[in-house]
Structure 1
Amino acid sequence: MAYPLLTNCPVCSKQLKITKLQCNHCQTTVENEFEVSKLAALGQEQLHFVEIFLKCRGNIKEVEKELGISYPTVRGKLDDIISALGYTSQKKPEVDKKKIVSLLEKGEITTEKAIQLLKEGEES
């Protein structure tokens, strides 16, 4: 029975190095320092989420249905994984709808510009 790859030390929680690989068929052994992919650092729940996300071809609505969770929860899990992989999530700033309406009422922006700003807010 094979066990999942440990990536962190069970004693101090620091990252482990893989130093030995062995073939189950011919018993050839290779020793050195080997790198693992960034995905190896993800927990089981995060890897499951990534699998579902890929299965759904990145369609967040489909991920919602598959996992039975809300859109904000999907986005939150995705942001957590992005962070765990060492990347920064490029969140767009929250659109202030009241401010857009106020600017429109004052005549400081056109209707077309207001619609554009509101649509940009929906995409984030």
Structure 2
Amino acid sequence: MAYPIITNCPVCSEVLKITKLQCTHCDTTIENEFELSKFATLSSEHLSFIEIFLKSRGNIKEVEKELGVSYPTVRGKLNEIVSALGATEKKNDLDDKNVIDMLGRGEISLDEAIKTIKGN
């Protein structure tokens, strides 16, 4: 039985380093210092959100429906994940015109558009 990889030390909470890999077929063992991908350090909640986001092909309206949350909540979760991946936060990429375009396409409700514009 395989367990999910842990990325932080259960004693001091620092990031763990992978030092050994083993083939389950031929028992070849490789020892060295291996690096985890940035995605390996995300929480299971973040990974679940990413899976839903990708299955929805980035359609925020679909993500809203699947999770039962509002547009600003979906955007907030995306920003949270981008930050957790270590990306520097850029200025809000939603200007008023983009919000109005999204409203026109039915991707967000009027209330969500107003909240988003007020937040800009």
Range class of TM-score, shorter chain: 0.7 to 0.9
Q: Which residue of 1 aligns with 2:112?
A: none
Q: How many residues align?
A: 102
Q: Which residue of 2 aligns with 1:10?
A: 10
Query: Tell me, what secondary structure is at the counterpart of 1:30?
Result: strand
Which entry has the higher C-alpha Rg, 1 or 2?
A: 1
Runs ≥4 residues deviating over 2 A: 88-95, 120-124
Query: What RMSD over aligned residues (CA atoms) do the two structures have, in Å?
Result: 2.0
Matches within 5 A, 1:61-76: 61-76=61-76
Structure 2 unmatched ranges of 5 or more: 103-115
How big is each residue's C-alpha offset from its partner over 1:49-90, in whole Å with a ceiling of 9 and x where there is no partner? 001111111111111011111111111111110000000232
How big is each residue's C-alpha offset from its partner over 1:34-59, in whole Å with a ceiling of 9 and x where there is no partner? 11110001010100000111111111
Higher relative contact order (CA 8 A, sep 6+): 2
State the percentage of identical aligned residues: 68
Structure 1 unmatched ranges of 5 or more: 96-117
> When the two structures are superposed, what TM-score results if normalisation uses the length of structure 1?
0.74
> When the two structures are superposed, what TM-score results if normalisation uses the length of structure 2?
0.77
The alpha-carbon distance between structure 1 residues 94 and 32, as it changes in their structure 2 partners (threshold 3 A), is closer
